[in-house]
Amino acid sequence: MKLIDLLTPEFIKVPLQGRNKIEVIKELIDVIAEQGLVDEKEKALQAVLDREKIMTTGVGHGVAIPHCKYKCPRFAIALGVHPEGVDFESLDQKPAHIIFLLIGPEDDPGTHVRLLSRISRIIMKEEVRSRILQSSSPQEIYEILKAEESQYFELSA
């Protein structure tokens, strides 16, 4: 499995409209729900927010990776870009402009961790972040991630 197998252009939203962390997470859950992978959006939102209470998912460098385990048929990832940035209480106290949302089945914590690791590894490269922020379409962002991920081994499920 590769990140780009899950994060196709249909799961990428440019730009995000929300004014705060909760609104942005709701937008990304809507993206996943539109693809039929989440049927109870409020419960999914609560699962993400419960995870946020443990520790912020604002990892710094303008990136947040909210995530949770939730009853869903398979892993789902959505990506949004917010031009102004949103306060995610990030470790570096800077707003998040690139937000990945990962929702995964409750019974596969290993793949969940591997996907989080892959997202982190790719997005922590300044050049990748810069190119994503300059992109104007989901397809363009998908191509950036595809090219970057081609350098890594496939994730085992």
| Nearest in space to 13 (alpha carbons), one of 100, 96, 75 | 100
Question: In which element (H, E) is residue 69 found?
Answer: strand 67-69
| Domain-embedded: residue 154 | no
The DSSP letter of residue 61 is T
Query: What integer pLDDT is reported at residue 1 of this predicted model?
Result: 76
Nearest CA-CA partner of 64 in 10, 102, 29:
102
Residue span of the structural domain in which 29 resides: 3-149
**pLDDT score of 64 more than 60:** yes
Whether 15 maps to a domain, the answer reads yes
User: Has residue 156 been placed in a domain?
Assistant: no
Residue 121 belongs to some domain of the structure:
yes
Q: Evaluate if residue 26 carries a pLDDT over 90.
A: yes
> What pLDDT was estimated at residue 155?
58
Average pLDDT, the chain: 94
Q: Is the pLDDT of residue 110 over 80?
A: yes
Q: Is the pLDDT of residue 147 over 70?
A: yes
What pLDDT, on a 0 to 100 scale, did the predictor assign at position 27? 98
CA distance 87 to 118: 23
Domain count, the chain: 1
Residue 157 lies in a domain: no
Is residue 124 included in any domain, yes or no?
Answer: yes
Output the domain CATH number for residue 144: 3.40.930.10
- Give catalytic residues, as residue numbers: 67
116 assigned to some structural domain: yes
pLDDT at 2: 86
